[in-house]
Amino acid sequence: MTTISVRHLCKRYGKGFLAVDDVNLEINDGEFVVLVGPSGSGKSTVLRMIVGLEDITSGDLCIGGERVNEKPPRDRDLSMVFQNYALYPHLTVYENIAFPLRLHKVANDDIDKQVRSTASMLQLTELLDRKPANLSGGQQQRVAMGRALIRKAKAFLFDEPLSNLDAKLRVQMRTEISRLQKKLGMTTIYVTHDQTEAMTLGDRVVLLRLGKLQQVGTPRELYEKPVNMFVAGFLGSPQINFLPADVNADHLRLPFCDVPLDPAHPPAKLSGKDLVIVGLRPEHLLDATKLDDQHRSHGVTFKAKVDVTEWLGDEQVVYLPYEAPERFHKQLAELQKELDSESDRTQLIVELDSTTPIQESEEIELWFDPGNLLFFDPETTENVTLGRELEEPAQAKTA
């Protein structure tokens, strides 16, 4: 049984730069865990400390219940697939896959049997006599995976293995990795900066930010119940909308409309605050003209002018600009910089089906369920979970 325990893990470089700050994580036997975050978040450093390529400054690392901080990589019995594949160019596919077994002086007959079995599983049988230079990027990645799998290690570690592939091939390889992991039931840690890979591959997702662990949970948990604005903004494409809202006794005033609050349950967590940041995902905004009266009465409707539209075939993305307080602009700009986004525009992003006729500069009517709103403290950026305090309004008042 292979479990991996990371306890208060820290990594300092040079003059005290803290790259990984007190990370705690328990990875269960057979679990697929994805470490994700923007550049500089510390995800690859955590992976390299687990495999033994980076020294641990402080904290404990246990594999299968045994503390391994001082063990060299070869004694940890972990297999790793790198971003650049790290294949031997002068060796054939067969010999690249067989290499770990030859190091352990396995008998030739056993090597041949295991190499061919692994190659069959990865659809590499017809390529065994080729050298890496004669393979596509996807084929090279499968060879690297085959070399890792043939070792039958305690756990498998992937360091951004698909980042060098084109978009179509990434989707194909992502599916293959997921299928293979489920078939073999292998404990897997996978590092990526791509939120789509994290959401589609992981049993659990670990989101890091500047070396600190932000949230751990299933992809659905992180998407639907983010602990702060960073988590909410990192997951989701198009990105979640962050809107400033004035807090009043009986309602919240958003840029496009008012959302009534239940006076019997005032927003106590925002006592004394005059501004709250509201999160609303683009897919939760619907074309109000396509809803019946009963549906409309259980949500909020408003009208707004379209600035830009993007038609993507199966969907279209609509952008609706609005004015916001200066302090909100500054906070949004800082967050977008961390999320590797160049846009700090105050605009509402809407994701609609492609059949909705929308023209730029025209006014459209939209609807949303206030139960889908997320509420964030503007000072701490933490999710203050106000959704349950909203009543079901019959109709919003136009701002």
For strand 241-247 and strand 251-253, is the pairing parallel, antiparallel, or unpaired?
antiparallel
Q: For residue 382, give the DSSP letter.
A: B
The gap from C-alpha 382 to its chain's centroid, in whole angstroms, comes to 18
Q: Which amino acid is at 204?
A: R
Are 63 and 201 within one domain? Answer: yes
360, burial (CB in 10 Å: exposed 0-12, middle 13-18, buried 19+)? exposed
What is the model's pLDDT at position 11? 96
Residues 223 and 239 in one domain: no
Instruction: Give yes or no: residues 80 and 189 share one domain.
Output: yes
pLDDT at site 377: 87
* pLDDT value of position 122: 86
User: How far apart, in whole angstroms, are the C-alpha atoms of residue 300 and residue 394?
Assistant: 8
Are 54 and 133 in a shared domain?
yes
- Give the residue ranges of the chain where pLDDT is below 70: 1, 262-273, 340-344, 385-399
Q: Is residue 396 part of a domain?
A: no
b or e along 239-270 (b: 16 or more beta carbons within 10 Å of the residue's beta carbon)?
bbbbbbbbbeeebbebbbbbbbbeeeeebeeb
Do 278 and 328 share a structural domain?
A: yes
Q: What is the CATH number of the domain that holds 76?
A: 3.40.50.300
What is residue 145's predicted lDDT score, i.e. its pLDDT?
Answer: 87
Residue 395 domain-assigned (yes or no):
no
Nearest-5° Cα angle at 204, 193 to 68: 85
Q: For residue 355, is it within any domain?
A: yes
User: What is the predicted pLDDT for the residue at 340?
Assistant: 66
Residue with token string 């019959």: 394
Quick: pLDDT tens for 254-304.
999 888 876 655 554 655 567 888 999 999 999 998 988 888 888 899 999
Residue 135 belongs to what domain range? 4-229
User: Which of 213, 229, 245 is the last residue in one of the domains?
Assistant: 229
- Contacts of 61-68 with CB under 8 Å at 24 or more apart are 61/4, 61/5, 61/6, 61/7, 61/9, 62/3, 62/4, 62/5, 62/7, 63/2, 63/3, 63/4, 63/5, 63/154, 63/155, 64/1, 64/2, 64/3, 64/154, 65/3, 65/5
pLDDT at 399: 43
User: Which residue from 172, 94, 168, 76 is spatially nearest to 135, judged by alpha carbons?
Assistant: 94
Contact 386, 231 (CB under 8 A): no
pLDDT at residue 344, rounded to an integer: 58
State how far the Cα of 286 lies from the Cα of 162, in Å rounded to an integer: 34
Domain edge (last residue) among 209, 229, 249: 229
Instruction: Give the span between the Cα atoms of 235 and 232, in whole angstroms.
Output: 6
pLDDT for position 229: 92
Measured from the Cβ of residue 17, the count of other Cβ atoms closer than 10 Å reads 9
In eight-state DSSP terms, residue 398 is B
Domain count, the chain: 2
Task: Report how far residue 178's alpha carbon sits from residue 355's, in angstroms, rounded to the nearest whole number.
Answer: 33
Distance CA 375, CA 277 (A): 6
Q: Is the pTM of this model over 0.85?
A: yes
Question: 168 and 274 in one domain?
Answer: no
Are residues 224 and 100 part of one domain?
yes
Residues 63 and 166 in one domain: yes
Do 252 and 384 belong to one domain?
Answer: yes
For residue 124, what is the DSSP state? -
Q: What is the domain-level CATH number for residue 381? A: 2.40.50.140
Establish if 288 belongs to a structural domain: yes
Same domain, 306 and 352: yes
Tell me if 65 is assigned to some domain.
yes
Does residue 397 form part of some domain?
no
- Write down which residue in 199, 229, 259 finishes a domain: 229
In a domain, 399, yes or no: no
Q: How far apart are CA 186 and CA 32, in angstroms?
A: 8
Q: Does 154 share its domain with 302? A: no
**Considering only CA atoms, which of 306, 346, 303 is closest in space to residue 326?**
346
DSSP, res 132: G
Dihedral angle computed from the Cα positions of residues 172, 174, 178 and 184, in that order, rounded to the nearest 10 degrees: 80
Print burial letters for 21-36: b (CB count within 10 Å at least 16), e (below 16): bebebebeebbbbbbb
Q: Are residues 58 and 171 in the same domain?
A: yes
Question: What DSSP designation does 289 have?
Answer: G
Residue 297 maps to a domain? yes
